């Protein structure tokens, strides 16, 4: 398991200084079913915009 999760999306409510993610869980999905061939075929569904 990753010790640190890096994130550069600073308008996400889980973003912290140093481009760190403070979410308890990261949920990544594939656009093409159960597998992906490259990063462009995936999305992070953990993202929530800051209000």
- Model confidence over 2-16: pLDDT tens digits? 789 999 999 999 999
Residue matched to tokens 């973003």: 15
pLDDT at 44 over 90: yes
Residues 6+ apart with CB under 8 A from 8: 19
Question: Residue 1: pLDDT above 80?
Answer: no
pLDDT at position 3 is 84
% of the chain exceeding 70 in pLDDT: 100
| pTM for the structure as a whole | 0.81
CB atoms within 10 A of CB 21: 19
């Amino acid at each position: 398991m990753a010790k640190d999760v890096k994130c550069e999306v600073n308008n996400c409510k889980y973003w912290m200084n140093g481009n760190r993610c403070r979410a308890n869980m990261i949920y990544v999905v594939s656009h093409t079913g159960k597998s992906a061939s490259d990063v462009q075929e995936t999305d992070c569904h953990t993202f929530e915009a800051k209000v």
